[in-house]
Amino acid sequence: MIYVDADACPVKAEAEVVATRLNTKMYLVCNGGLRPSRNPFVELVIVPDGPDVADMWIAERATRGDVVVTGDIPLAARAIENGARVIKHNGDALTRANIGTILATRDLMTDLRAADPFRQGSGRAFTKADRSRFLDGLDRAIRAAEKDLA
């Protein structure tokens, strides 16, 4: 199964294409505001408002053999701990080998922003190359998750 942390996810349509091609069930999990898909492989899950409710829903269900699509690092860490494969929106895989460093960097950046509230982020636009890397990365993650169950 594929679990997509769908709030602010820029690759929902791409994930749906891959899920359909591979005949894989996909859950779009959000607090609302999305239209349900007519695709039989896609289920929209609307959770109550509240901090991290969608993340908790995914983390409680994703396990070995599943893939989680998220940019949320704490959710990624929980999913990895449960045995799921995790991929970011740009196609980067989050793994047991790199999640510790990524969590530490996230915490450091949170502290730096708190110390300097005028600090501006250096986010860049999401590109076609990012979408392409995501499609490739999701395909690889699903195939690896299937092997996890074999």
73 part of a folded domain:
yes
121 part of a folded domain:
no
48 part of a folded domain:
yes
Q: What is the pLDDT of residue 127?
A: 86
- Total number of domains in the chain: 1
β-strand 67-69 against 85-87: which pairing, if any? parallel
Nearest by Cα to 130 from 86, 87, 77:
87
- The answer to whether 66 touches 3, Cβ cutoff 8 Å, is yes
Q: What domain range is 37 assigned to?
A: 2-110+129-149
77 part of a folded domain:
yes
Nearest by Cα to 70 from 15, 145, 32:
15
Measured CA to CA, the distance from residue 138 to residue 144 in angstroms comes to: 10
Nearest by Cα to 15 from 142, 146, 147:
142
- pLDDT (tens place) for every residue of the chain, 150 residues total: 999 999 889 999 999 999 999 999 999 999 988 888 999 999 999 999 888 899 999 999 999 999 999 999 999 999 999 999 999 999 999 999 988 777 777 666 665 666 666 666 556 788 889 899 999 999 999 999 999 987
Q: What is the pLDDT of residue 107?
A: 63
35 part of a folded domain:
yes
**In this structure, what DSSP letter does residue 8 have?**
T
119 part of a folded domain:
no
**SS3 call for 102:** helix
- The answer to whether 49 touches 94, Cβ cutoff 8 Å, is no
Q: Which domain CATH number covers 57?
A: 3.40.50
124 part of a folded domain:
no
Measured CA to CA, the distance from residue 83 to residue 148 in angstroms comes to: 9
92 part of a folded domain:
yes
Entry pTM: 0.86
What token pair was written down for 90? 């740009």
